[in-house]
Chains A and B, each alone.
Chain A
Amino acid sequence: MASRTASGRRTWTFYLLTSLFAGFVLFLYGPMIVIYILSFQGETGGLTFPMTGFSSVWFHALIEGGRTGDISGSFQRSIVLAAITTVLTVLICVSAGLGFRRRFPGSGVVFYLAVASLVMPGIFVGLGISLGFQFAELETDWLISGLGAQLTWTLPFGLLVMFAVIGRFDRRFEEAARDLGASAWQRTREITLPILLPGIIGVGLFGFTLSYDEFARTLLTAGAKNTLPLEIWAMTTNVTSPALFAVGTVTTVISFAVIGSALGSIALIQRRRSRNAGTH
């Protein structure tokens, strides 16, 4: 290795770069680690160090509700919203991605039009939607205007990922299937979708996490009932107990569970495909 001298000792650059990377990791995760630790604050403890003990009392406070606001209600709404957003994002992005493989006049313009919406400031997208609803004399609601606002964010993102996934797909697989007598539907079901599946799961994962975390666009479009990020935001001004940190810990666990199950299912697919490897 380059990081070792001829005598086998590590060079000084190895230590320099390693500490640089360690600093980077701390920079990334440090703030959240503080939150996780403080969420286990003792019963008499406050929002800051020192810890007066170690307890799970703040997690219980969350479930009981009351002085911590509508955490479980907003969590349920966020999960439902994220699930619907995920399904719609996957359906629309996969169809659009498959359709977009055939170049047509103006396809470049369509591509940039779809992707450029990513750079629009989210808070104004939300404002525009809420003004539009007001103008049309409609009530904003997390399941209607909120869903729409989130889709303006997840769809271009999902499309971008899908184009990358499809860009690596070799069309000869489909041609070979056609040569062997597969109809258009059979080709899609038997060849194209299974080969693209890991990428499609990736699109779904993006859709879920982007929606679950979304704040800027949802703020002015969620209507009377809050999603989880909005509820947490409200709590930071009202709640003065470590229950706030407990929310952070729980949402992190859920995010990792979602990502873990997505990666797990990709691994499972790949394992199933090579399940019989080595049997003679």
Chain B
Amino acid sequence: MSATLNSGKIEVVAVTKTYSPGAPPAVDNLDLVIDHGSYCCLLGPSGCGKTTILRMIAGHETPTQGDILIGGRNVTNLQPVERGTAMMFQSYALFPHRSVLDNVAFALKMRGASVVERNAKARELLEKVHLEAFANRLPAQLSGGQQQRVALARALITNPRVLLLDEPLSALDEYLRLRMRGELRRVQRELGITFIHVTHTQLEAIAVADTVVVMAHGKIEQAASARDIFLVPRNAYVTRFIGGQNVISGTVERTADGSARAVTSTGARIEVPLKGRSASPGERIFASLRRDRVQVRRNTGGKPAQDSINAVAGEVHAIENQGSYVKVTVDLADGEEFVAHVLDEDFFIDPIDIGAPVIASWTVRDVHLLEDRQPQATGRVAAAA
């Protein structure tokens, strides 16, 4: 076989999937390239089309329009088995009436391999996932984590170049979830094949993926490295969905020295670095702000001084101790959630109570301009909306 045939590079080209005529498309004219050997997470709320994309790559759904290429070959109309992909289903779909060994050997049996040959190969894979002792058990006699490893072995027995994982960790408890996601990452590195992993859990995606694709309403909101998705989110949707950051917004007063001065709906002044992008006065701009870089101190004298910048006044709405830090939710009276992650040792020097007036402040380098824009507001009502 040539190198391209072994390649697990995925190209989704202008793919649309509509389930019933007239209904909004589940996937809307979507383009996506996933490099061979990378770990890609499709992330989004339920109904955003992420599973539909996975199933179209696997061949369990046919695109209404557009093409799917694997290793440079158009596979849009091929059967799942002809694509060199393997899928790990949500809650695994292990065959309940067959032993672990028969489950793993199933694909080889379908290909006409002899009993000896397929059982030998299946045992080899079970050894890799440390389940050789459970070969004769039924799936129902295994724990969730063991079932997941059987599903992994079953999918890998045909040496696929792409492994498609539909919510692979959602059936596990918290402890196993954390362990198995590391395990998945290790297996992917070891095999060097492409993994596409569908999840609705942000931290899971950030933890395992090379590339995170954030989706909403059948479209891609942002596809970037896990680090970039967090540090330089494209818009307010991605920022809010990934979490760990606040979305702040204000109407631009003026721009100077590569940054914009804006006024929030409550009258606070913020500075937003433009980094080469433009913003015109009167426009409402949005920015992300890391929660762990926000300082919170008691407000002893009403509003912040007129000339202070990157500081907002509010009231403590909720306090949650997270162990290594304390999550302080501040009500700024503008409708947007604003949270500060305060280091535990700083917080407990002088703990703040719920309802206490505080000033939250930050430095300009932790502010990142988002793409969202709103035209000039024509009054307080529009600005607050």
Contacts and interface: CB of A to CB of B under 8 A. Distances in A.
Interface string B72-94: 00000001110001110111011
Interface in B92-118: 93-97, 99, 106-107, 109-111
Contact of B154 (A172, A180, A183, A279): A180
Interface stretch (A13-21, A207-215, A230-238, A269-277): A269-277
Given A273-B138, A276-B136, A280-B133, A181 B93 contact: no
Contact of B95 (A173, A276, A277, A279): A173
B141 interface: yes
Contacts of B80: 178-179, 181
B51 to A, nearest CB: 12
B60 A191 contact: no
A191 B95 contact: yes
Given A179-B81, A179-B87, A181-B111, A195 B96 contact: yes
Choose among A179, A181, A195, A279 the residue with the greatest number of B CB atoms under 10 Å from its CB.
Answer: A179
Contacts of B339: none
Contact of B137 (A181, A191, A277): A277
Per DSSP, chain B at the interface is loop
Interface in A250-280: 273-274, 276-277, 279-280
Contacts of A194: 97
Nearest to B80: A179
Contacts, number: 72
Contacts of A175: 60, 87, 89, 93
Q: How many interface residues does chain B have, given as a range?
A: 20 to 34
A173 B92 CA distance: 9
Contacts of B89: 172, 175-176, 179
A186 interface: yes
Interface in A27-79: none
Contact of B99 (A179, A195, A276): A276
Given A175-B89, A180-B106, A277 B96 contact: no
Given A170-B93, A179-B86, A195-B96, A274 B81 contact: no
B141 A277 contact: yes
B58 interface: yes
B141 to A, nearest CB: 6
Nearest to B86: A179
Given A175-B89, A176-B87, A181-B158, A273 B107 contact: no
Interface residues of A, number: 23
Interface in A170-228: 170, 172-173, 175-183, 186, 190-191, 194-195
A172 B138 contact: no
A220 to B, nearest CB: 45
Nearest to B110: A181
Interface string B298-333: 000000000000000000000000000000000000
A243 to B, nearest CB: 47
A179 B133 contact: no
15 contacts: A179-B59, A179-B60, A179-B80, A179-B86, A179-B89, A180-B154, A181-B80, A181-B81, A181-B111, A181-B158, A183-B110, A191-B95, A195-B95, A274-B141, A277-B137
Ranked nearest first, the 7 interchain pairs of A and B with the lowest CB-CB distance are: A276-B136, A180-B107, A172-B93, A181-B81, A176-B93, A181-B110, A182-B110
Given A179-B87, A195-B97, 20 more contacts: A172-B93, A173-B93, A175-B60, A175-B89, A175-B93, A176-B87, A176-B93, A177-B110, A178-B79, A179-B60, A179-B86, A180-B81, A180-B154, A183-B110, A190-B109, A190-B110, A273-B138, A274-B138, A277-B136, A277-B141
